[in-house]
Amino acid sequence: MLKPISTSLLWRGILAIVIGLVSVAWPGVTVGAFVFMFAAYSFMVAAADAVRAFHGRKAGSVIGYLALSLLSVTAGVVALAWPGMTALVLTLWIAGWAIATGAIEVTVAFRRGEATPGERALSALGGFITMAFGVVLAIRPDAGAVSLATVFGLFSIVSGVSALVLSAQLRRSHAAADRWVDATAPDLAKAGHDHWAR
């Protein structure tokens, strides 16, 4: 159950870091090129959130991750469908997406009953970082494409590192659960055999 989620978070983290590095290293990015980078990022986030939704145990987290996935797909489609938009419109669009996505991430983080407190805290931190990114863009929408690409790149790098850390935590939890099952399985089998032998 944890393996597909940790794998999707691993890929989300790696791709977010790559997109972030490209955004930061390419300071003369045009609005058109940035639209494609943002769309790629939003589709990647949508896929990772969809995987998390279909592996959730509770309806609240499933609905929350599906909402995040749909919101990210919508953001990417609108960005691609309207590629001639100005840097100002693009900045405001991304700000709205980030604020809404961050708020949903924070809400889902506190409703995930199966997650450890550390996983919830890391998910909530990611949501707060996403909301802060949106607020910064909303306060200064006139920053221009170069500034937008740099801020988005830094956000992507931080978001990617956060996803990698959460993926590593989930992989450790999965490995610990496997070791516990392997260690207790012979005892449980023996107890079951003794019970039925009576």
> For residues 113 and 56, what is the distance between their CA atoms, to the nearest angstrom?
10
Q: What is the pLDDT of residues 102-119, one digit of tens each?
A: 898 898 888 766 677 777
Using the 8-state DSSP alphabet, how is residue 115 labeled? Answer: S
Give the tens place of pLDDT for each residue, 132-159.
Answer: 989 988 888 876 666 777 888 888 888 8
Phi and psi angles of residue 78, each rounded to the nearest 5 degrees, phi first: -60, -40
Q: How far is CA 8 from CA 26, 50, 71, 149, in A?
A: 27, 9, 18, 25
Residue 6 has pLDDT above 70, yes or no: yes
pLDDT at residue 99 tops 90: yes
What secondary structure letter does DSSP report for 142? G
Number of H helices, E strands in the chain: 6, 0
